[in-house]
Chain A
Amino acid sequence: MKNEFLSPGQRMMQRFRRDRIGMISSVFVAMLFIVAVTFGALSLLDVPFPADPNLTNLAEKLQPPSASHWLGTDNLGRDVLARLLHGAYISLSVGFVAVFVSLAIGVAVGAVSGYFGGWVDNVLMRVVDAIMCFPTFFLILTAVALLGPSLLNIIVVIGLVSWTGTARLVRAEFLTLRESEYVRAARGLGQNSWAIIFRHILPNAAAPIFVTAVLGIPDAILTEAGLSFLGFGVQPPQATWGNIISDGKSYILDAWWLILFPGLAIFVSALAFYLAGDALRRAASSKSETQ
């Protein structure tokens, strides 16, 4: 039998692999990841491949796409392709690390809130409500303006304001699962609360948490792009997808390639993460094979 000895997680991945959209988008995400890591490393080592992203050449400014500059040049004559590739790691690291921060806080708050209930739950959920009352983007904008727009600050601030949804989701999962028979069985065996939370409940809530995490990545990428566009993102000359668009917006009528390509990069990457996350959700929720 094919399903012999497969854990529920392994069976979920088996279903995921049969999902065409999920596979295509995750292959794209994987490629994006490789590009980001490779060019991130090249960028840190100052290797000018395929061109120096920060080399200005006013003689070749605002050139349309050509054989020597595949995606054209910007107003300072910098190669757009090089800037896109070298900026990719910024977007991805913001996406992944911010989600990691928000996941850590959201899971901890949601788990404690849902498992212990009572006044603990009440206090934590009112904090969540209060944070949710702020318009998130302006909160981030203000915080970054006050703290200074460094990559680390942006990641931390995005992470710190985006955990509330995760906390609510995790709380809801815990509220259901803590009443389950196997949790009672585990308590009946003399297991302590922390072991029950981490060993018995959390793994059973892993699938929806994983799905929200993947869906949170494009949100963080888009937020960073928006911040960069407004000039509160990672500062020039470091190229990011957002600030390439920001720099290009004055030339929108003469140099469409300055807006189109970074815009496409943001759009396609965000879409790939959303589709992959959605496919994961489908794989996680299809109960047809469980029984």
Chain B
Amino acid sequence: MSTNLPLLEVRDLRIRFRAESGVTDAVRGISFVLEKGEALAIVGESGSGKSVTALGLTRLLPTPPAEFVSGEILFEGRDVLKLSPPELRKVRGGGIAYVFQEPSTSLNPVYSIRSQIAEAIRLHRPEVEDIDAEVVHWLDAVGIVNPAQRMRDYPHQLSGGMQQRAMIAMALSCQPRLLVADEPTTALDVTIQAQILEQLRELRKRFDMSLILITHNFAIIRNLCDKVAVMFRGEIVEFGSAEEVLRNPQHPYTRALIDCIPKLGEHRKRLHTIDYSKIPTS
């Protein structure tokens, strides 16, 4: 594998949902490049296609109703859309791991945290002998206090923040090159949000891992991400460095999104909403 190859390159990806009620084009020809070690934020409102894009990266969408119409997803140079099922299972978790929005339902209620993380380790790193020590190591890495004790807990015994940390530990324990976090803090309260995001930032540095952060919240990306892709109606309407996009947004939709963030000390009668009539449709 040549070293100057980007970690992930998406070319003209189109994803369509075909249901009895009609056809929806959820992702309409998006392209982007993610270099090794980079962090990309995909920002957009509900229904803009950001989650579909994230799940589509490892074909986690149920087909049918989803349909990959065209495009390429090159992960480390290989097209994910052309992988055989066993190859795909290696990429899932081992290459690209996920952290989902709702930690309380993303953990299987009938197994302890220990056995769920152990399962992930056995799948992708069969060479590990002392699995318990490895589980403790990762729980410790995500900031869970007293991990040897906590790993015996069942999901319902943990708080939301702890559950999300356990999910992150599970994802990291596979040692993926890319972590996809799909609104990882939406279900958590604000103080815990900040802790989890700080944790992600630190872990990314420590393990030299790339990150794709899916969010609708512009406020959280400045500290965490290098690049931003703004999605609107299934298309990337703006792409650039996080600094640049935040300081000088080009597309009206991006500007509208940024305007929606309430600012401290500002006097407003009503919060901003997006006036769609002012946004051009391509």
Contacts and interface: CB of A to CB of B under 8 A. Distances in A.
A48 interface: no
B110 A185 contact: no
A190 B109 CA distance: 19
A185 B167 contact: yes
Among A6, A182, A290, residue most surrounded by chain B Cβ atoms (within 10 Å): A182
Interface string B101-137: 0100111111110000001100110000000000000
A209 B223 CA distance: 49
B108 A204 contact: yes
Contacts of A4: 157
Interface stretch (B92-100, B189-197, B227-235): B92-100
B114 to A, nearest CB: 11
A184 B60 contact: yes
Interface string B10-52: 0000000000000000000000000000000000000000000
Interface in B178-204: none
A190 B100 contact: no
Given A185-B100, A188-B97, A191-B119, A7 B107 contact: no
Contacts of A197: none
Given A5-B152, A290-B156, A291-B156, A186 B100 contact: no
Nearest to B120: A189
A247 B94 CA distance: 69
B170 interface: yes
A9 B110 CA distance: 8
Contacts of B174: 189-190
Contacts of B89: 190-192
Contacts of B112: 5, 7
Contact of A185 (B107, B123, B152, B154): B107
Interface string B124-160: 1000000000000000000000000000111011000
B205 interface: no
A200 B154 contact: no
A182 B60 CA distance: 13
A180 B105 contact: yes
A184 B94 contact: no
Given A181-B100, A184-B60, A190 B108 contact: no
B58 interface: yes
Nearest to A6: B154
Contacts of A291: 156
B105 A182 contact: yes
B27 to A, nearest CB: 18
A187 interface: yes
Contacts of A8: 109-110, 154, 156
A182 B98 CA distance: 11
A181 B90 contact: no
Interface string A1-31: 0011111110000000000000000000000
A8 B109 CA distance: 7
Contacts of A203: 108, 110-111
B225 interface: no
B105 A188 contact: no
A233 to B, nearest CB: 40
Contact of A190 (B102, B124, B157): B124
Interface string A173-210: 00000001110111111111000000110011010000
B97 A186 contact: no
A240 to B, nearest CB: 40
B245 interface: no
Interface in A230-272: none
A190 B156 contact: no
A270 to B, nearest CB: 31
20 contacts: A7-B110, A8-B110, A8-B156, A185-B108, A185-B170, A186-B108, A187-B92, A188-B60, A189-B93, A189-B98, A189-B170, A189-B174, A190-B91, A190-B93, A190-B174, A191-B89, A191-B119, A192-B89, A204-B109, A206-B110
Interface of B: 58, 60, 64, 85, 88-94, 97-98, 100, 102, 105-112, 119-120, 123-124, 152-154, 156-157, 167, 170-171, 174
Given A8-B109, A191-B89, A191-B119, 5 more contacts: A181-B102, A184-B106, A189-B93, A190-B89, A192-B85
Q: Which 10 pairs of residues, A with B, have the shortest CB-CB distance?
A: A190-B92, A190-B93, A189-B93, A190-B89, A181-B105, A188-B98, A182-B108, A181-B106, A185-B106, A203-B110
